[in-house]
A and B are shown apart, each in its own frame.
Chain A
Amino acid sequence: MSLQTHQPDTATPPIATPSAAAGSRPPLPKDPQRHRKRALWGTAAVVIVILHLLALEGTGFEPVLLVEGWQGMARFIADSFPPSLDWEGVIAPGLEATLVTLWIGLLGTTLSVPTALLLAVLAARTTTPHRLAYQVSRSILSFFRAVPDIVFALIFVTAVGLGPFAGVLALICHNTGVMGKLWAESLEETDQGPQQALSTTGASRLQQIAHSSLPLVTPQFVGLLLYRFDVNVRSSLVLGLVGAGGIGLLINQAIKSFQFDAMLSHIIIVLVLIIVVDQASAFIRKRLSL
């Protein structure tokens, strides 16, 4: 369209046709990588399909079962309706247990901050004082991240007994691993310039970290912290199922004693809790990024 306005005369030809250009420019070069790339993508596709067939087989993945069994599910939900509104027996204990769940999530997050911060600084290539410290802290973080919190909970229960304390300890361990890794990554991604600039002033390594690296990543750090708090509150629900107290434990008990209306009440309370936590952390994150 703009061609017409720019080229009213024919002093210079408009866009050259391929055949016209072929004479003046070198021919399309053969790209030996093209065949290799095609073969690679093809092989990857075949491997992925085979893996999925095996996985579908191994998990007994049959949508037919769900279609045939939906009535059972509907009956189960209908049976538990309406949710129990028994204050003394269901709602009050539910709210109390929900608070415990929230406390487990809170402590599991905040008490892992010192360890996660230390390990993150050591495990980020841009802030670590030494290669060895880097390797060791990376390994520690990998270990804590690899062991699921529920496994930590089962281990701590043997030491401190059933109850929320075991849940808090379990979350501290697992969250140190995850948050330390996430923080180390955001430290590595941040602009190195300000830190270099401070190094030329003669500031010590620790001063450089305190006055450039950390302030630069503070918004990301707080965002990740809130995200982990979100996740940890949900994890502490599951930890309740293995005896770490809180609302998860009540849901488990309600199911085992066939009190489905109480179960439904508890699930509704949990949903409200999760939505509130999610919205609150989203609100704070938005405020911080200003």
Chain B
Amino acid sequence: MARDRYSPPALGVSGLTKSYHGRPVLKGVDFQVECGELVAFLGANGSGKSTTLKCVAGLAEPDAGTIRLQGTELSGLSGKTLAAARSQAAMVFQKIHLVPRRTALDNVCAGALARTSGPASLSPLFFSRALREEALDCLDRVGLADRALEKVGRLSGGQQQRVAVARALCQRAGVLLADEPVSALDPNAAEHIMALLAELAHTHQLAVAAVLHQPALAQRHADRAIGLLHGRIVFDGPAAGLGADIQDQLYSPERTSAA
């Protein structure tokens, strides 16, 4: 698992700016996430955490700045090459965003759509045996192999989020972006998901960037923490160093209401 020390970071973001309706939301954001590392993003509501992840995932268009995924810079790419580069980053959401009426296995298979093409890729009835086997492996890695044929809507919130993680694995992405993956879950399920994300980072060498709202969760599970305040990074260091002073700065009401 020893990485070449000159290899680029799995995710590198520099000078990222973004404004909505003339109001700056990101004011020059720079950070890197390495393979095998779980980085927690912290910050008050509206500080720009989701926008940062969305810019990486292609759900928002940055105004300026560079985003590198596994060494490939995204700006300047378009069409198929951009889609291929983007598929290097998978995203899971607070609201999970699976299709509840479909089985866990079918939802996980959908993570591989970028690699499959043609009319047969338009229906789960025609997913190949190989893909279904791979999807089952992914479900196994999140501990849900025995629920493969269950409709997602019948699973608990924590299980659904694990299916979403399995879909990200089936995407074969090196970078996993998680926007408040545990905010809608009870404490047990939250612990479980965070432990799973940490395991994926540490044993499967994924680069994981997770937005969290509880500093305690970050301290327990993350290797590093990044603190955002009004679209700027004000803290970037070991999660253990996330002291009370930093937390006060990130969440103090005077500063956040100024936004």
Contacts and interface: CB of A to CB of B under 8 A. Distances in A.
Nearest to B109: A211
A193 B93 contact: yes
A99 interface: no
A94 B92 CA distance: 60
B59 A202 contact: no
Interface string A191-203: 1011011111111
A50 interface: no
Contacts of B224: none
B113 A198 contact: yes
Given A196-B59, A210-B122, A203 B113 contact: yes
B113 A200 contact: no
A216 B99 contact: yes
A7 interface: no
Interface string B83-107: 1101101110101011101100000
A200 B99 contact: no
A198 B110 contact: yes
B247 interface: no
A200 B58 contact: yes
A270 to B, nearest CB: 37
Contacts of B171: 201-202
B114 A215 contact: no
Number of chain B interface residues as a range:
20 to 34
B121 interface: yes
A218 B83 contact: no
B98 A194 contact: yes
A207 B97 contact: no
A216 B101 contact: yes
Contacts of B91: 197, 200
Interface in B64-97: 83-84, 86-87, 89-91, 93, 95, 97
A142 interface: no
Contacts of B93: 193, 197
Contacts of B98: 194, 197
B123 interface: yes
Contacts of B83: 202, 204
A212 interface: yes
B181 interface: no
B196 interface: no
24 contacts: A191-B97, A193-B93, A193-B97, A194-B97, A194-B98, A198-B110, A200-B58, A200-B91, A201-B87, A201-B90, A201-B112, A201-B171, A202-B83, A203-B113, A204-B83, A204-B113, A207-B113, A210-B122, A210-B123, A211-B124, A212-B110, A215-B101, A215-B102, A216-B101
Given A200-B57, A201-B90, A202-B84, 6 more contacts: A193-B95, A198-B110, A203-B110, A204-B113, A207-B113, A215-B99
Instruction: Return the 9 tightest CB-CB contacts between A and B, nearest first.
Output: A202-B114, A202-B87, A203-B113, A197-B97, A193-B97, A210-B122, A200-B57, A202-B83, A207-B113
